[in-house]
Amino acid sequence: MTLSPFLGRTLAVVLLLGASGGIWSLIVEPVMTKYRLSAESTVQSKALIERYLRIAKVRAPLEKQLISLKRRGPSTGGYLEGASDTLAAAKLQNRVKGVVATSGGEIKSSQILPPRDDGNHRAINIRVQLSADIAGLQAIFHALESENTLLFLDNVDVRRQRARRRGKKSADDRRLTVRFDVSGYVRREGS
């Protein structure tokens, strides 16, 4: 069987294309896929190395800080300080007065309440009555609750001050009368 020259050339081209397609799918495509995956893996590895280097830079200063904290010994973090309950209550009272004054409020009264035992700790309590506007009150509460010494606010009662004259608005109309208890804890001896 003889083929015409045109048909023979066409058949040769088809066989050549089939063979090159087979070579592509068997050799070239897997090599290209492995190269692409290797490039992606390299990019991910570089990103991880950069991240670990950033973490390593942060670690050294933190370790130094930890060593200095360990040298200081046990901390009183979170607790009120004072040689006695009365001194701790007085310090707490002064702290509250300072916060109220810097926040634009005015202390009307402050009373030290009897301390109470709470397991290995002793609760020191004071009762405060003050006058402030809403922004000042927010600043007072934020300052008290965000201190290093843990302070707890209880029995909060907020009331608007009564207007003194009918029909006339004054700056005092925006003032609030606030009553609340502030508690902090001292460590008992031996705990």
pLDDT of residue 169: 57
pLDDT of residue 79: 83
Residues 69 and 89 in one domain: no
pLDDT of residue 81: 83
CA atoms within 13 A on the CB side of 180: 23
Name the percent of the chain lying above pLDDT 70: 88
Residues 46 and 93 in one domain: no
Amino acid at 36: R
Among 73, 101, 128, where does a domain finish? 73
pLDDT band for position 72 (cuts 50, 70, 90): low
Amino acid at 157: D
Q: What is the pLDDT of residues 9-52, one digit of tens each?
A: 888 888 887 787 777 777 778 888 888 899 999 999 999 999 99
pLDDT of residue 167: 57
**DSSP letter (8 states) at residue 162:** P
pLDDT of residue 50: 92
Q: What is the pLDDT of residues 149-179, one digit of tens each?
A: 888 999 999 998 766 656 555 555 688 999 9
Residue 79 counted as domain residue:
no
Structural domain boundaries enclosing 34: 1-73
Residues 68 and 160 in one domain: no
pLDDT of residue 74: 56
pLDDT of residue 69: 73
pLDDT of residue 76: 59
Residues 99 and 175 in one domain: yes
Residues 181 and 93 in one domain: yes
Checking DSSP bridges between strand 121-132 and strand 106-118, what pairing results, if any? antiparallel
Residues 90 and 68 in one domain: no
Residues 89 and 31 in one domain: no
pLDDT of residue 108: 94
Residues 20 and 97 in one domain: no
Residue 175 phi/psi, 5° resolution? Answer: -80, 150
**Mean pLDDT for the stretch of residues 83-93:** 88
Residues 119 and 53 in one domain: no
| Under 8 Å between Cβ of 181 and 124 | no
Q: What is the tally of structural domains in the chain?
A: 2
pLDDT of residue 164: 60
Residue 13 counted as domain residue:
yes
Helix or strand holding residue 33 (H, E): helix 29-72
pLDDT at 75 over 60: no
Amino acid at 5: P
**Mean pLDDT for the stretch of residues 93-121:** 90
More confident residue, 167 or 117: 117
Residues 38 and 106 in one domain: no
Residues 43 and 111 in one domain: no
